[in-house]
Amino acid sequence: MQAVILAGGKGTRLRPLTVYTPKPIVPVVNRPFLLYQIEVLRRAGIKNITLSLSYQPDKIEDVLGDGSEYGVELRFITEPNPLGTGGAYRFAADELRETTVVLNGDILTDFDLSTILSFHREKGSAATLALKSVEDPRTYGLVESDTDGRILRFIEKPKPEDLDELAVNTINAGIYVLEPAILDLIPKGENRSFEYDVFPEIMGRKMPFFAYVLDSEYWRDIGTPASYLTAHHDFLDGTIKGFELERSQHTDIATAAIVDSRSVLGDDCVIKPGARVSNSVLGPGVHVEEKAVVENSVIWAHTRISTAADIRDAVIGRSCHIGRNVVVSAGSVLGDKTALTDYTKV
Ligand code: GDD
Ligand code: MG
């Protein structure tokens, strides 16, 4: 059993965070994001993992290494040009003709993959998708399945009329179990999308195509800043369980500073007297000066928050300088190396 993680997208919706850091390794509670997926795969006994890359591949390879540190074997394959989700799978899995778990590289889940693997085998399925119920399916692939789990319809990014017609709210969760027969539907080296090309083709050919609906498992696409921030809040309030959070012991927190018990700080953070940090994640080397407030926010490594600055519900990139008395308000997303002059309001 092997896995392919599709991690070649540009992460445009996560800009500016993805300008210098490709989406697969954006820090989530101070760990490169893909480590959560690697852990889920490893728990299901899947150690042979290929990362299908296209955008900033060297940075991803440098950060993750060969996987031995995480108990898996990582292989990196970079497309000469983006081949789409289906084309990338063929490019990465071609010579390994075996059952493969394919993951979209931006979904955060604690799903026990062994359940979908058993389901896939029981059904004799050629392709099995995990589905999740969501309130608003418009930005996903809408999937209709029958009571037996057979997939009846797949509509990527459904339009209002599609939503009226299909009274379902189950979407493609970006977790697939595929038999090698699926490789043969994708011409080698050509651009193909699972969602627009391959899945419709599977249905057209009436191959066994099944859905496994996630229930209480945590699931989220972290591909937008709002979702990325919510993922952090879900970690801090325990909504997502099963992953160990690393709280550094090497921090310098003034006795007259308040850091609540939910917040996670990386190594070498400095929190000065009168500062307050709550429900937030601070990367390594972040400085929060006197009387500054950081609430419900994510601050990447080596950023400095000056005296009496006020940061709420925001994401701030690496090595930023936030001046004195600056106000960063809800929904702000600042790219790496942003410098805000004293008293700026964003
Ligand atoms: N290697 C490679 N090459 N990877 C790619 C390419 C490519 O050309 N294009 C996209 N990817 C990767 C992205 O990096 C991402 O991890 C994954 O494929 C899905 O792409 P997104 O751009 O994040 O798609 P989406 O979020 O709009 O929609 C997809 O995910 C939803 C669930 O989160 C679809 O699969 C929907 O059907 C699904 O509901
Ligand atoms: Mg996505």
157 is catalytic: yes
- CATH code of 327's domain: 2.160.10.10
327 φ, ψ (degrees, to nearest 5): -115, 120
Whether 219 maps to a domain, the answer reads yes
In single-letter form, the type of residue at position 31 comes to R
Residue nearest to atom 2 of ligand 1 (CA): 8
Q: Are residues 273 and 204 in the same domain?
A: no
Is residue 9 in contact with ligand 1, taking CB distance under 6 Å? Answer: yes
Whether 53 maps to a domain, the answer reads yes
Q: Are residues 333 and 259 in the same domain?
A: yes
Q: Are residues 125 and 155 in the same domain?
A: yes
Contacts of 200 (CB under 8 A, 6+ apart): 154
Decide: 120 and 210 in contact? Cβ < 8 Å: yes
Q: Are residues 171 and 224 in the same domain?
A: yes
**Which numbered atom of ligand 1 lies nearest the CA of 172?**
39
Is residue 7 in contact with ligand 1, taking CB distance under 6 Å? Answer: yes
Last residue of a domain, one of 181, 207, 236: 236
- CATH code of 81's domain: 3.90.550.10
Whether 87 maps to a domain, the answer reads yes
Q: Are residues 175 and 318 in the same domain?
A: no
Assign 74 to helix, strand or coil: strand
pLDDT at residue 97, rounded to an integer? 87
**Which numbered atom of ligand 1 lies nearest the CA of 5?**
16
Between the CA atoms of 35, 3, 1 and 97, what dihedral angle is there, to the nearest 10 degrees?
-160
Whether 28 maps to a domain, the answer reads yes
Q: Are residues 257 and 229 in the same domain?
A: no
Instruction: State which residues form the domain around 62.
Output: 2-236
Whether 345 maps to a domain, the answer reads no
Q: Are residues 93 and 145 in the same domain?
A: yes
Last residue of a domain, one of 209, 236, 263: 236
Say how far apart CA 68 and CA 154 lie, in whole Å.
38
Q: What is the pTM of this model?
A: 0.94
Note the ligand closest to the C-alpha atom of 105: 1
- Residue 181 CA to ligand 1 center (angstroms) comes to 21
Whether 170 maps to a domain, the answer reads yes
Which among 59, 157, 159, 188 is annotated as catalytic? 157
Whether 326 maps to a domain, the answer reads yes
pLDDT at residue 95, rounded to an integer? 78
Say how far apart CA 200 and CA 276 lie, in whole Å.
53
Residue nearest to atom 3 of ligand 1 (CA): 8
Spell out, as residue ranges, where the chain has pLDDT lower than 70. Answer: none
**Which numbered atom of ligand 1 lies nearest the CA of 10?**
14
Counting ligand 1 atoms within 8 A of each CB, the residue from 26, 34, 55, 85 with the most, and so the one to mutate, is: 85
Q: Are residues 258 and 219 in the same domain?
A: no
**Which numbered atom of ligand 1 lies nearest the CA of 7?**
14
E-strand ranges in 222-323 read 252-253, 258-259, 264-265, 270-271, 276-278, 281-282, 287-288, 293-295, 298-299, 304-305, 310-312, 315-316, 321-322
Counting ligand 1 atoms within 8 A of each CB, the residue from 61, 75, 106 with the most, and so the one to mutate, is: 106
Q: What is the tally of structural domains in the chain?
A: 2
pLDDT tens for residues 291-326?
999 999 999 999 999 999 999 999 999 999 999 999
Q: Are residues 225 and 262 in the same domain?
A: no
Last residue of a domain, one of 205, 236, 267: 236
Q: Are residues 229 and 275 in the same domain?
A: no
What sign results for the dihedral spanned by CA atoms 239, 135, 177, 79? negative
Say how far apart CA 341 and CA 325 lie, in whole Å.
9
Whether 245 maps to a domain, the answer reads no
Q: Are residues 256 and 209 in the same domain?
A: no
Contacts of 262 (CB under 8 A, 6+ apart): 236, 237, 278, 279
Q: Are residues 217 and 166 in the same domain?
A: yes
Is residue 22 in contact with ligand 1, taking CB distance under 6 Å? Answer: no
